Amino acid sequence: MLKLDDVSVGKNVTVNDLSSTELLRERMLALGLTKGARIEVIRKGPSGDPTVYNIRGAMIALRKEEASLVSVVPF
């Protein structure tokens, strides 16, 4: 299964499932990471982490650890 942190910059994907729990899951949902949501990978930070994503029109940075909890499919 493809994880969000494996997607390279410039690609678009859609969310398939979240494996985060509790607080982090709530936050991810609140930011709009629901099943089927489209995500664009915008850029990586100066050392390659965290990465900025376009999630429902907002620029949200996630660390590798968080992004790896989002399974995605190519758009």
Partner 1 sequence: MGLTFQSTQSCSLADIFQIDKKEQQNVIALAGNPNTGKSTVFNVLTGLHQHTGNWPGKTVVNASGKYKYNGSDNILVDLPGTYSLFASSAEEEVARDFICFGNSDAVIIVCDATCLERNLNLVFQVMELTDKVVLCINLIDEARKKNIQIDAKGIEKELGIPVVLCAARNGTGIRELKETVNKVAAGVMKPKPNTVLYDNNIEDRINSIKPVMEEYGRGINSRWLALRVMDGDKKLLESIFSNINPEVFKETFHTVRASEVQADKMNIRDEITKQLYKKAEEITDKYVKKDVSKSDRDRKIDNYITSGIFGIPLMLLVLAFIFWVTVSGANIPSSMIAGLLFRLEDKLTLLSNNLNAPGWLHGILILGLFRTMAWVISVMLPPMAIFFPLFTILEDLGYLPRVAFNLDHLFKKACAHGKQCLTMCMGFGCNAAGIVSCRIIESPRERMIAILTNNFVPCNGRFPTLIAVSSIFLAAKAGTGFGILPALSVTGLVIIGIAVTLLVSYGLSKTLLKGIPSTFTLELPPYRIPQIGRVLYTSIIDRTMFVLWRAVIVAAPAGIITWILANIYIGDLSIIGHTATILNPFAKLIGLDGYILTAFLLGLPANEIVLPILLMSYLSTGTMIEFESMESLRSILLEHGWTHLTALNVMLFCLLHWPCATTLLTIKKETGSIKWTALAAVIPTGIAIAVCFITSIIFRISGRA
Residues of the shown chain interacting with partner 1 in the complex, contacts defined by CB under 8 A: 18, 21-32, 34-37, 42-43, 45-50, 52, 55-63, 65-66
- Tell me the closest approach of the beta carbon of residue 68 to partner 1, in angstroms: 12
Of 7 and 28, nearer to partner 1 (C-beta) is 28
Which residue has tokens 């399974």? 71
Three-state DSSP state, 69:
coil
Cβ atoms of 71 and 14 within 8 Å: the answer is no
Which residue has tokens 């982090």? 24
- Tell me the closest approach of the beta carbon of residue 8 to partner 1, in angstroms: 16
Q: What is the largest CA-CA distance in the chain?
A: 30
- Tell me the closest approach of the beta carbon of residue 12 to partner 1, in angstroms: 13
